Amino acid sequence: MSNNTKQFYLDFVYDEYMKSNSSFAYILTIFDYIDWSLVPEILNHAAQAA
């Protein structure tokens, strides 16, 4: 088993645990819907507008 596979599994288990046992579960759920690849583009656009 490679380190990437182990890390993926640990991330998955942690994520599922936090969603079911955290008072901030709704925030963690929202994070799943964010397209994080767009964040740098949005920040760059905001910096140019300022």
> For 1-50, what is each residue's pLDDT tens digit?
456 888 888 888 887 887 777 777 777 778 888 887 888 887 787 788 77
* Alpha helices in the chain, H assignment, sequence order: 3-21, 25-33, 39-49
Angle of CA points 34, 28, 12, to nearest 5°: 95
Q: Domain range spanning residue 21?
A: 5-49
Find out whether 30 and 18 touch, Cβ atoms under 8 Å: no
Number of domains in the chain: 1
| pTM exceeding the 0.85 threshold for the entire prediction | no
**Cα 22 to Cα 33: distance, rounded to the nearest angstrom:** 18
What is the per-residue pLDDT for 22?
74
Find out whether 28 and 19 touch, Cβ atoms under 8 Å: yes
